[in-house]
Amino acid sequence: MRKQIAAANWKMNLTLQQAEELLDELHSIPYSLDKDQEVIFGVPFPYLAQVEQKLAGRNNVYVAAQNCSDKKNGAYTGEVSAEMLQSIAVDYVIIGHSERREYFNESHTMLAGKINLCLEHGIKPIFCCGEPLAVREAGTQNSYVETQLTESLFHLTAAQLTGFVIAYEPIWAIGTGKTASNEQAQEMHAHIRSIMANQYGADVAGSISILYGGSVKANNAKDIFGQPDVDGGLVGGASMVAADFAVIINSLK
């Protein structure tokens, strides 16, 4: 069975003290994880080691960086390499978030390079894809997302993609309060799985966890996660409210 995942993306929010208080509050609230369920915290770079230590010993709970460089090492001031993340035992890296694509002009080729370095260093990518509002209104979202997948992932082998994590984030629903309907979410998640099945076969496609990211909240998570091809969520604002994120975790299938 593929993994069901509640992934928090704190983005550029919270001081270290606030982050520690949030984790303490969250872990004072009862939630349970089955063997095929995971919780992932995507935290700012300065807090990775501290959060790793704070979460040590918790089963099925992991830490993610929010990005990494597409360069292995060198004179790239301010960048963070996959090797650096490996050295502090980071488990996951969020790759290709829509904000990185939009604000930092990250290309499909660049994202492919980041994924290669993550896999080379034993770090699991969470690959983000999704369409802006204009594409959705034009009805071309399926081909748009297919291009994102083919140009950044299709150089990988079936073995590398087995158990992979993809996050579908309709850009028009991120931080806007708008959410794709359950039907829209399921339709795109099924489309993504069919793209992967056509290229790599049904077994590989069936092993890939596809998360929904776009205004997931405590009051809609259960319905969204209940869709057959939705395997959890990549959660922004609601992941920084302990009570809400606990509800979201408990909404996993």
For residue 106, what are its two tokens?
Answer: 């990250």
**Residue 220 DSSP label:** T
CA distance 11 to 158: 31
Non-local CB neighbours of 114 within 8 Å, separated by 6+ positions: 67, 68, 69, 70, 82, 93, 95, 96, 125
**Residue 90 DSSP label:** -
Q: What are phi and psi of 147, to 5 degrees?
A: -65, -40
Contact indicator for 6, 26 with CB cutoff of 8 Å: no
CA distance 43 to 11: 7
Residue in 15, 60, 6 with CA at minimum distance from that of residue 34 = 60
Residue in 96, 153, 146, 147 with CA at minimum distance from that of residue 119 = 153
Residues pairing with 167 in the sheet:
128, 211
Catalytic positions are 97, 169
